[in-house]
Structure 1
Amino acid sequence: MRFVSSRPALFLAASALALSLAAPSLAQEAPAPAPETSAEEAQEAEAQDAEPNGDPVPHIIIADEPETPEEPKVTPIPAEWAPIPLDAEKNSAFGLYLAGRNALTSGESAVGADYLSRVYALTPEQPRVREQAFTAALLAGDLDEAGRIAPTDPEVSPVIVQAGRLVQAVQTYAGGGARRANAELKVAPVGEPHDRAGFYVQAWIAAAAGDWDRALAMPPAEFDPVSALVARGNRARLLEQRRRYDEADAEWRDLTSHALAGALFRQSYGEFLERRGRRDDALVQYDAAVAARTADRRVMEGRERVLSKARPPALLNFREGAAQALRTAADQMIAQRAYEFGAVYLRLAQNLAPSDNTQLLIGQTLIQGGIEPAGRAALAHVSEASPAIYAAARVQMAISLSKTGLDDEVLVELRRAASVRPDEATVAYMLASQLLQMERREEALELLNGPLLNTADQGYETHFLRGAAYEALDQDAQAEAELWAALQMQPDNPTLLNYLGYLWVDTGTRVAEGAAMIARAHAADPKDGNIQDSLGWAQFRQGQYEAAVVNLEGAVDKEPANAEINDHLGDAYWAVGRQREAGFQWNRVLTLKVDDKRRGEVEAKLRDRLNQNPTGDHGLGSDD
């Protein structure tokens, strides 16, 4: 059978699109032009601990730590809670706790966090409650509350305790307390597994507090090589802040000299050289990145900036530097698939230096970690300031919603993406795919035949989707032409072989040739139930009924809820004389999602061949 309506087929490259539309890197963002005032003046003002908070509502969660800690040794709750604690509204701690856990399970992170925070206020002696309230606050994005109740008990896992210490330090700094945050980190540095993020950010906090010895400290000897290089990149930026330009230049030169990691620092070194008025040297760095094929959008922008003698990018201030450091740490966590902590770091970065790019990354990271409701809530806060980033957020939202079957909402999100990126062909393709998924075929064809997609260099995917739309409208000649064009571009693609082969078999036009194509598709992808159904149906159409039964039974095992495959198996059973089993399969069809045309055909078979009144009762039927 054909299976273009399968969501994986329609959203095959969607995740890559959501990441690529906006294009910015996780660790850095494109710098703004330098202001007329000096960077040094900005830093002196910042060092007075007078920074506003401006915390947007975040949406993050910490998952359970990889190693299960021992259960904390606390007095049993019934002995401690006598009588049971009640709040001012007479709600019991037990009831609030259950309500909070239920809300979190349902994806209502803010509601769940509020309930657990109220439980903690009633039962501060319970370490586990405090830990859960802390993680729930992170899920809800309430960083101030998370910092206030961060667990310190020795019974709690160090993974959680050290996360709380990092949150407290960054939130103190974000609230204007650079000196206090620096003092806290000096007394109790952030430990594993958050020591990397703690060291990156503490350098910027120390600089904001005027503690330059700590700000310019070399990374610990036990740091892994990549993390040590990243820390030295922060040090080079801070040396520039301190006007120790020769030392900064030496640091950058050494960093870019590394055979494997040097490419990571060419953009930053080029920007430093631009600010020092050394445009020719900056161009050397950008050209080296181009030659090594490591140049991204920001490198190309830097190269163009040098050639046009435009203003160099601004030096990061302390808050921006701390935010970038946290984004880099998030990048490393995400690379290790620690998505929850990656999202925590990104949320802290967003609190220090809000940007739509970071907000997008928060949503994407949460969704990558399987925390879809919180991820969608984060994506909802991406503004339209940057059309590329807004479109990427809407596409990512659509991908997430498609997993829930909310087709109308998926369509809304894709239309929003298209409204700000009307010339983006990939968005148009995804929108056409969704319309076809919703059986709005004429609308899909309007897009597929429009100027964005119907181009001389269109890919096989567009030909395939257009062919599927024509086939669904019973325009077989147009469908065949498009599917054939797609197959010429991808001659071994099992999906294309199956789709065109099935069209030829089902219409009876080129049965033998279609059957051979389907056999090739099945050999390439033997686990696909839809392709195996096509193979069985091709055998049926050629009179090979016993072989058809075997393959159609295998297809039903793989796709038991597919009405068309069950119908085919019923026909094959009838052809080999297994009439009772044929009736069972046809009645089974009527219990599944089936279109009106097939329903009528199946009901007619039950009446005319078996003298049964169709009942749709899982195959039992009823005799007249």
Structure 2
Amino acid sequence: MFRTPGISILAILCALVLSACGSSMQKTATEQVSEKTSSSRADIMQMDTQFLYLASQDALKEGDHQLAIELLSALVEKDATAITPRIQLAALLLQSGRQADAEQHVTDLLVEPALSAEQFEQLKLTQIKMLVAKNKMDLALTELDGFLKTRPAHLAAREIQARIFANQDRLDEALTAMDAAIAAEELPEFRLLQAQLLLKNNDLMAARVSLRRMLKLEPASDTAAIMLSGIALKENKADQAEDILRQFLANYPEAVRISHVLGQLLLEQNRIAEAILIYRDAEVASGGGNPDILRSLGMLYFRHQDFGKAEETFSKLVELVPTDQSRFYYATSLEALLKTQKAREIYAAIDINGPMGRDAQIRLAGIDFGDGKLNQAEARLLHIVKEQPENMEAFMMLTGIWLAQKQFKKVISKTLPLLANNKLHPQILFNRAVAYEHLKQYEGVEAMLTRVITKFPKHSEALNFLGYTYAIQGINLNKAESLIKRALQKKPGDGYYLDSLAWVYFRMGNYAKALETQKMALQSISDDAVMFEHYGDILWKNGEFDPARKAWQKAIDLDSENHNDLKNKIADGPGLNQ
């Protein structure tokens, strides 16, 4: 008969030491098995059951599950009454995917009279889980019925039963079973299961009652509070959802999950400053040692454009969790504060092959771009797109570099393969449109911007750009007016958009309205050469010749690219084509 080693292990080990040669005295039982047998089953079968058990436990500690299975299999073959090893063997076989072998051991063990009540429950539930895994749901439910007759408040069994019923959409039966469990013993876990089933049945009122009852039984249950707030949100009662979370936090300020949920709720309402306060309180409650809180707080500061606080928070995060991800967040806050050299050093130290490596290289390319190191920036980004041909962020920055280098044909050719990608970033399409515009290929401009607007109807830059493109050509002027007005709805009073609209009116021949609109544009932006050239053209058509010449001279002073044309206008007025 096998007995689980207790204090007698010392005597066994002493016997092993006395019978072994001196060179093996420091070796584990597993090492001795490996040396003596070379995995020979015949040799293993000659070993004592106690030794086999010790060796199997050593194998488990070392992560060698296959050897542990061999040793335990030999042990139970030598001693069929060895219950603890057999339970371990069944678990290992199941874990190794050998379900049939595991099932046989479980079935044999269940009729073993020496089983304790706890062991019987554990094995019975394992057997039921095996039935579920084999999709024998009816048989699993039958076994559960028999099991629950004598153990009606068994939590694990009730969970399995509820899941089976719920997955089969037998919610009434599942709820009846939960009522029986609660009648036997009202556990908070049962109330939670009941609430989940009621929510699946869309019975919000009854689910709320269950969750409130759960909070009576377990006042510190953040899960119940989160679910109650979720019910309030489903009922479009955001204020009530917020109150539930705030009240819970008042009693349990260290409840991190509640802080996260409340913070997210406030963010969805664009109440960033209040969300920051929630996370500040959570940081204090956690003693400043919770990485998730610090990370969320730092991101909120960044979103709120409080980059100084973001830097301070991410600096703490790096001290607490010195990972590449933490360093990346810290560097982004430094970059926002224009501390680019320090940010560069941190980005450069991030493992290029790690999960944040490409992001860091893209940020480094951005710094290079800002420093005028366009070739260096391009080299970094080309390395990324070579490994990730559809990295949108890298391509977006590459197109910006090529535009700055006036490589317009390159923008178009290099991004052509991306057009079939459904996840193509709109900025890449927009940059392609800019390239087409410089090449005076207006059909390409229209195609790219139409694609952006189709997917993003409120993309104000694309709306304005397409409207202005029509105005330049003197076509689709009514559509151009509509597009630019849609852009102005998104950004009221934008000077550039007003300039585009004024040029539409100019092309329509409505010179008075063009002049009124252009004056509004110049109130917003007073240092743009193109806008002053437009202003001069519009003034001229309104008969204001001297002010027109002054406007054209202002455009020259602002370093207009049309210097010679403007000189001619000042001397002789606009050409006949205007």
TM-score by length of 2: 0.45
| RCO comparison, higher one (Cα < 8 Å, 6+) | 1
Structure number with larger C-alpha Rg: 2
The structure that is helix-richer by fraction is 2
